[in-house]
Chains A and B, each alone.
Chain A
């Protein structure tokens, strides 16, 4: 008879009503950062599980404050709740999964890895994105993808005003409506390579959506390129 399927017990656990945030982060930066690590009672505290650089799985049970999982490298960090401002900011690699919604500037400046938000993300999601991928199951607020340089922002719901303002080379995929495009952001053709990329991203994020229903947006490249014709202006 097969053994019943069970979740492995957490190797390390923290109760933030008893343990300090500083202690949590210090130990996540040391040799104990391995296997499954459980954090309970986050109560909206800031800067949880920041700067982790280890192959481990951190599970945070509840809502967190600002800058959760910032600068993450290699770790998988799951938040069973909502996130405050700047979740996974400047992530380098690994995965950050938010089961609730995220506040402003989710994934800001993130350079690598995957950020998945199962609820909505508010304003400035993926601001100055530098190579990471973000998949939002819900909608995103205004100025999302602002000055995003590379990587992808996938939005299964709607996007707010000024999507992709001053965009560089990041790709924006939106399934729903876009309230308005920012300066130099334009709709672009969905070629086969884009459908393939989007399908892979949705699969990696474990989000069910039909890639053919999405529209791609990108930079018109009129704003950030140096133009020799304008040299007299400078």
Chain B
């Protein structure tokens, strides 16, 4: 069992409270996933020609200022834009691919959490309630966000095994369920050049989406491909620069509820995580039909 939450804001007032509301949603889903928690926020786009990356370090003194200096020396300009617990975000005057390749080569002890223009991923093992406090989630503003609480079933409980998983620039995946054909699919995708950090099944779903989109599929086509190529149970939520998309497996083994008001669109594993949002009692709410891709914003524009 795991918990998923997604929140897409339609008003400026709500944008300034995005972290506050996502934190409340995650805490409602704490007993669906007490092992670890994670979030992806979409906020503060990097300037044109720059990229934004988020990085995790297990070190006591991670040396983020020194890393910002090293990035600036290598790429001409860079700055540290935020530090939250064990994570930091940087903007760099270069393409995201180049920065990621340099970090992997020069700083292999760091875990790259996300890369793109707007995405920031934070995740950590431990109780969701502690995560929300340590990362000061309530203070984060942004346009939309996804969150996950994990109850591990098939691989270790570590920060790297936590969700969301990056699936490419400004893309990420959270998953409730379990996949049975992930080992075979991972070996196929490795041969196709997809990089994996863990033996986690959900990371394979993320890698699958990355691979399909690298081949030219739209996000919608890539998600529809999951219905054919993934064996197992899943409710997926995929974050994009503009919104998010949701897909449930055709048997609907895992729950999902969606709701919408004039101010927000939300999805969650259970309604109680939506009930904490302002105006929830007057929201239109429904259960997504299994095997159908749902999306908000312009999430499916390639």
Contacts and interface: CB of A to CB of B under 8 A. Distances in A.
Interface of A: 43-46, 62-63, 65-66, 82, 84-85, 101, 103-104, 122-123, 141-142
A88 B66 CA distance: 60
A101 B286 contact: yes
Interface in B271-294: 271-276, 281, 285-287, 289-290
A65 B272 CA distance: 7
A208 to B, nearest CB: 24
20 contacts: A43-B272, A44-B271, A44-B274, A44-B275, A62-B281, A65-B272, A82-B285, A84-B255, A101-B286, A101-B287, A103-B257, A104-B252, A104-B255, A122-B252, A122-B287, A123-B252, A141-B252, A141-B289, A141-B290, A142-B252
Contacts of B120: none
Contacts of A142: 251-252, 290
B270 interface: yes
Which residue among B257, B270, B275, B287 has the maximum number of chain A CB atoms within 10 Å of its CB? B287
8 A-B pairs closest in CB distance: A44-B272, A44-B271, A43-B275, A44-B275, A123-B252, A122-B287, A63-B271, A65-B272
Contacts of B257: 103
A65 B274 CA distance: 11
Contact of A103 (B255, B272, B274): B255
Contacts of B270: 44, 65-66, 84
Nearest to B274: A44
Interface string B248-274: 000110010100000000000011111
Contacts of A123: 252, 290
B287 A103 contact: yes
